[in-house]
């Protein structure tokens, strides 16, 4: 709830539920558009139009574009955190890591916004200030770092590498340009692309 100042209406009342629903719709639309067009190209009008309200109404929910997009990114981070938790059943850590990367790749093929903003995105500053986003991201990282240590201990991942480096490699896959390049050839099906990139990530290009 990054709502502005107004009287928030009784918990669970009709108006409050409508309010919250609209806010969720805004966040959802924003996260989709962020993935499709990027922060700079996406306009506040786009988001308002997608939800079917006027731009001025959007500003009753969020103080500005930055905060709207930060909320959208926090939503994305929470979803990823939930997914990562859902993977934490009994299976071997290396399998969880594959599943995580596969998910990231599939999201990317669906034009979803990646968990991390790109290097010179204007999103970085507002994101640094968004605690919701930061805490969800930290939760994901902590859990995945645990998996990496496990996978190294059980001999499935290169031992001796700092777990942090492996984490970076895995996160980077969620914005790997290789997907787009393969897609633009028009010669590969969706799943084929995902598998190629997965294998490239974990096995490398080298012959063995």
52/92 with CB nearer DNA: 52
Least distance from DNA to the Cβ atom of residue 41, Å: 7
User: Could you tell me if 148 and 167 are in contact, meaning their C-beta atoms sit under 8 angstroms apart?
Assistant: yes
Q: Which among 7-15, 45-53, 82-90, 194-202 is the span making contact with its own copies, rule CB under 8 A?
A: 194-202
User: Could you tell me if 166 and 188 are in contact, meaning their C-beta atoms sit under 8 angstroms apart?
Assistant: no
Q: Restricting to residues 43-72, which ones interact with its own copies according to CB under 8 A?
A: none
109/139 with CB nearer its own copies: 109
From the CB of residue 107, how many other CB atoms can be counted at a distance below 10 Å?
A: 19
Determine, following the binding rule CB under 8 A, whether residue 203 of this chain makes contact with its own copies: yes
Angstrom CA distances, 28 to 35, 74, 76, 124, 140, stand at 11, 11, 9, 19, 20
CA proximity to 3, closest of 56, 50, 62: 62
Determine, following the binding rule CB under 8 A, whether residue 82 of this chain makes contact with its own copies: no
User: What 3 state SS string does 22-54 have?
Assistant: HHHHHHHHHHHHHHHHHHHHCCHHHHHHHHCCC
Q: Which of 15, 180, 190, 191 binds its own copies (CB under 8 A)?
A: 180
66/106 with CB nearer DNA: 66
Least distance from its own copies to the Cβ atom of residue 99, Å: 15
Q: Which residues bind DNA (CB under 7 A)?
A: 3, 6-9, 15, 18-19, 22, 42-45, 52-57, 59-61, 63-66
Determine, following the binding rule CB under 8 A, whether residue 177 of this chain makes contact with its own copies: yes
Element housing 80 (H / E): helix 65-87
**Burial (CB count within 10 angstroms: exposed 0-12, middle 13-18, buried 19+), residue 203:** exposed
Q: Which residues bind its own copies (CB under 8 A)?
A: 36-38, 40-41, 116, 118-122, 152, 155-159, 161, 164-166, 168-172, 174-178, 180-182, 185, 187-188, 196, 200-208
């Amino acid at each position: 709830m990054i709502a502005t100042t107004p009287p928030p209406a009784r918990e669970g009342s009709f108006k409050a539920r409508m309010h919250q629903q609209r806010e969720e719709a805004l966040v959802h639309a924003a996260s989709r558009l962020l993935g499709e067009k990027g922060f700079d190209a996406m306009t506040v009008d786009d988001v308002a139009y997608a939800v079917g309200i006027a731009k001025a109404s959007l500003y009753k929910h969020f103080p500005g574009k930055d905060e709207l997009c930060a909320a959208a990114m926090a939503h994305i981070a929470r979803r990823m955190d939930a997914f990562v938790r859902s993977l934490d059943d009994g299976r071997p850590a290396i399998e969880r890591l594959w599943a995580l990367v596969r998910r990231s790749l599939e999201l990317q093929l669906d034009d979803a916004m990646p968990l991390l903003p790109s290097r010179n995105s204007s999103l970085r500053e507002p994101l640094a200030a968004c605690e919701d986003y930061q805490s969800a991201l930290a939760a994901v990282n902590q859990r995945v770092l645990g998996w990496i240590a496990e996978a190294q201990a059980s001999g499935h991942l290169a031992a001796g590498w700092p777990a942090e480096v492996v984490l970076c490699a895995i996160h980077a896959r969620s914005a790997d340009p290789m997907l787009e390049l393969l897609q633009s050839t028009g010669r590969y099906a969706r799943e084929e692309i995902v598998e190629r990139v997965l294998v490239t990530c974990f096995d490398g290009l080298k012959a063995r």
